[in-house]
Amino acid sequence: MLESNGIQLHLAEAGDGPLVLLLHGWPELWYSWRHQVAALAAAGFHALAPDIRGYGRSDKPSAVDAYSMKTLMADIRGLLDALGEKTAVLVGHDWGAAMAWNFAALHPDRCRAVVGMSVPHLGRAPMPPTKLFDRMFADRWFYVRYFQELGMAESELDADIAKTMRIILANPSVLDSTSDVVRSRTQGDGFLTGIQVPDRLPEWLSEEDLAYYVEQYAASGFGRTIHRYRNMDRDWAELPELATAKIEQPALFVIGEADPGRALAPVDAMRTFVPNLQETVVPQAGHWIQQERPEAVNAALLRFLQNLGR
């Protein structure tokens, strides 16, 4: 446990050497990096994977605005300060990728390189994100819009956490906005509506892995984690500099070949904001890329890190 930005954050860490900070997404935990922590330590790096605020054993403030991007970036600065580190390489997946990209753009003096997985960096939207989603999806159901109403999504997801986690991690269609089951939803439907509970887990996810996620989420529920989605318009208002800020540091974007979000991840558009961008597409990987294909992800990550020098 370390204090950062006025809260306590739970960390997993291993190794000595240059600091690599691993930031998870939704609905994950530090545990999502279990394969990377050991590999990085063995390669001579100090790997550190926190439970982001609101998750796992870290503190979980109740206020919605306690999960703004500005606050999350202050958590990262606080971690670096608590560790006595001026800079780190930031590696993020999903919402963790957004944190890593934005921190690299706005705090280049504290971030010497950045790796984003599954979620690209496209600067600042032309309008508040919820307005953009209203325009893009019109009358169609979209999970980010569903998440905006306080209490609704968490009530659904908390009702049977074991079932919820099994579906989210093991059924790819739950995150695929183009799938037939998601496209058939109407107003009033939920995040899990029409999604089947998988008969078996994928090879990359054991029953013991799933049990760890369930245990951690059962302790506090999904509510604080969904607050991140409720700050998207606040982030847009508080961080106008993202419209022009460039990430000049070495940067790597890693995405699974079968990630449902790949159609919404225009890598070429990223180069306007990330001129020194490299890209790796991992075959036979979906959204949970670092868990699904750890050997391939570790190889790409270590190749990038070793090329940075010490």
Residues 6+ apart with CB under 8 A from 70: 235, 238, 239
Please pick, among 51, 94, 235, 259, the residue that the annotation labels catalytic: 94
Please pick, among 10, 93, 227, 287, the residue that the annotation labels catalytic: 287
What is the spatial order of strands in the sheet that 19-23 belongs to? Answer: 11-14, 46-50, 19-23, 88-93, 111-117, 251-256, 277-282
Q: What is the DSSP letter of 200?
A: S
Angstrom distance (rounded) from CA 264 to CA 267: 9
Q: Give phi and psi for 112, each to the nearest 5.
A: -90, -15
Let me know if 287 is a catalytic residue: yes
Residue from 178, 199, 197 nearest 136 by CA: 178
Let me know if 235 is a catalytic residue: no
Q: Give phi and psi for 98, each to the nearest 5.
A: -60, -40
Q: Supply the angle between the helices 69-83 and 95-106 in degrees, to the nearest 10.
A: 70
Residue written as token pair 């750890």: 294
Angstrom distance (rounded) from CA 272 to CA 32: 30
Tokens standing for residue 180: 């037939």
Runs of H (alpha helix) within 49-151: 69-83, 95-106, 129-137, 143-146
Any bridge partners for residue 256, and if so which? 282
Catalytic site residues? 94, 287
